[in-house]
A = this chain, B = another copy of it.
Amino acid sequence: MVGTVLELCTLEELAELEENDPAERARWVVSAPDPPGLWQNLAICSMKKTAALVSALNNQPKHKLLASLLQEAFPVLGWCQSYNVTKFKADVIAGLTIASLCIPQSMGYATLAKLEPQYGLYTSVVPPFIYAVMGTSKDMVIGPVAVDSLLLSAMIQKLIIDDSRADLTSYKSLVFTATLFAGIFQAAFGIFRLGFLVDFFSHAASVGFMSGSAIIIGLQQLKGLLGITNFTHKTDIISVMKSVSTGLAHQQWHINNFVLGCSCLTFVLITRLLGTWKKKLFWLPVIAPLLAFIFSTLIVYWTKAYDEGVVIVRQVKTGFNPSSVHLLQFDGPYVTEVAKIGLIVAVVGLTEATAVGRSFASLKGYHLDANKEMVSFGFMNVIGSLTSCYVCAGSLSRTAVNFNAGGETLVSNMVMAVTVLISLQLFTRFLYYTPMAAMASIILSAIPQLIKLTEANHIWKVDKLDFLACIGAFFGVLFLRVEIGLLIAVAISFAKIILVSIQPGVEILGRLPGTCTFCDVAQYPMAMKIPGVLIIRIKSAWLCFANANNIRERIMRWVTEEEEDAEGKIRRTTIKHVILDMSSLMNIDTSGIVSLDELHKNLVSHGAELGIANPRWQVINKLRLANFVGKIGGMVFLTVGEAVDACVL
């Protein structure tokens, strides 16, 4: 290896190689320029982005500047130039396909959010239009989603029920206000480039949270499926099961609902099987929910089953999205609470949408701009809250259908929105007779894909601590409340960061045979220790107050410990040199420096010498500032190999 890399050197460098003795290289370490400070770092980061944008704009003629700016804000202006009839045909087919799935799902999710079904349809009209001009994904289908609907209704209902003064009619206005807040937060995240905030809801936590929510959603559908009249507002599994059993025991249900719902569910599931079996029939499971809707509605209408105990939707209103500006409340007693709900829903919605968008973007190989996505979601929810839409997000199931149906661009979203709009105008009268059991069966059929057992199994296999966050979120949602589950997941994730970051650890390095590479002797059993020299690598990225003393004590224990040699005799190891490999140490704080200082003094009193190898930028800078380099007599080296050489020679 050495030879080949050296071949890259120029001849002059090779001549220099002889002159550049290790002492010269050690000087490189100590005389590195000052690293940028923390704030400078942050400033550089955002400056870079702005500078890149500005230079990109400056390189264009003036008359194109406005166009560039507009295109930056509305990606549609970029891709519409290469739009053609072929693409449009594909988009229309895909749009009609997703519309057929969207109508029953939207109505179902609206009932999950305790709103009348038309609000789900409204939410599938305005936001998709906005996303089509602002979004950076090519596949994402916008509309109401299950988990957000559950989360919103659970939190707002809790707010209202906790307060005896509130009347239940204010529910709707709280929903729209929360949607507005969610939009404002999302837009703010995007504008201030806080996209990373969404990452704080980790993959593992999201798997647990989604699975738990899916089970709760599924159980809540028993209400519709059985036609139970009195049902709990709580979301934990115990309350829900109690409601179900009370409903069953007190005969507050009707068998017809159950038969109707189960028939719909069986139909949808069978078509799904057919779709998996023959790839050509993929459209069958897609339109199955709509077919189930239509047939069950017709059956109820013709047999007048609504007089036989079948619960029907009843309150669907005909017409376009009405304005909901008058419903927004900013002076009520709940403003801060609603803003908090908005924040939670905003983060969960973005997490879901980003995950959906990213996975399809990487399938097609294009880039998704997280910050622009946030801004567009923000706009969708802000404008949505003014036009009777509740919180929207990217739907996984509809996006997958769009992808499979061959949707080329976001025009499929527009086609879907137009279709929904027409249905709102023409067919809602017909939806009056739709049985609630059919709606429940549509939601139920979407549950399995939210419960990610294989994913959970994978997490368990790879990372036990991640699994803890996953299972914490799962049980939190299931047995406590939806938002408590969320809180547990985030808390465990952060506790994990602290635990992993400050876990004090040192490993002993040995030389790999035949190389000048030094590695952990536990990881590479073939690595050999150098007699009389203890080479220690700090396993933490930060030597700080929380681990510095522990690390110091461990090193001293290695130095002073008695080792049994091959003959079983106890002999005191005679370590004369301790080399600290700092290559993984990113930073150090004042407590860490104090500890290193003490380590040095302790070693000197044991007759050993301390040297450090490969300190990183921030570390060497702070050691210089604290005059530590001088204290250890300049024993600073570029690599462990050079440090060993200096000790052994």
A binding-site residues for B, Cβ under 8 Å? 1-2, 4-6, 8-9, 13-14, 16-17, 20, 22, 25, 28, 32-33, 35, 37-38, 52, 196, 199-205, 358, 362, 365, 367, 370, 458-459, 461-466, 493-494, 496-498, 500-502, 504-505, 511-517, 519-520, 522-526, 530, 539-542, 544-550, 553, 556, 561, 583-584, 586-587, 589-591, 593-594, 598, 601-602, 605, 616-617, 622, 625-626, 638-639, 641-642, 644-645, 648-649
Contacts and interface: CB of A to CB of B under 8 A. Distances in A.
* 8 A-B pairs closest in CB distance: A541-B541, A202-B545, A17-B514, A365-B605, A501-B501, A203-B591, A584-B584, A523-B617
Nearest to A498: B497
A568 B215 CA distance: 60
A517 B605 CA distance: 34
Contacts of A205: 545
A612 B625 CA distance: 34
Contacts of A512: 25, 28, 638
B523 A590 contact: no
B459 A500 contact: no
Contact of A541 (B16, B20, B38, B584): B584
A9 B545 contact: no
A112 to B, nearest CB: 28
A547 B638 contact: no
A648 B8 contact: yes
Given A1-B22, A497-B542, 17 more contacts: A1-B645, A2-B2, A6-B516, A8-B530, A25-B512, A32-B524, A196-B547, A196-B549, A196-B550, A199-B549, A200-B546, A203-B545, A370-B549, A493-B545, A501-B501, A519-B638, A584-B586
A504 to B, nearest CB: 7
Nearest to A584: B584
Contact of A466 (B459, B586, B589): B589
A591 B549 contact: no
A31 B422 CA distance: 62
Contact of A601 (B365, B547, B550, B638): B365
Which of A5, A520, A601 has the most CB atoms of chain B within a 10 A radius of its CB?
A: A5
A25 B548 CA distance: 33
A540 B561 CA distance: 32
B649 A4 contact: yes
B1 A556 contact: no
B545 A199 contact: yes
A544 B501 CA distance: 11
Contacts of A547: 196, 199
Contacts of A458: 590, 626
Given A516-B2, A545-B202, A639-B1, A593 B493 contact: no
Contact of A639 (B33, B517, B526, B648): B517
Nearest to A604: B365
A206 B598 CA distance: 18
A30 to B, nearest CB: 12
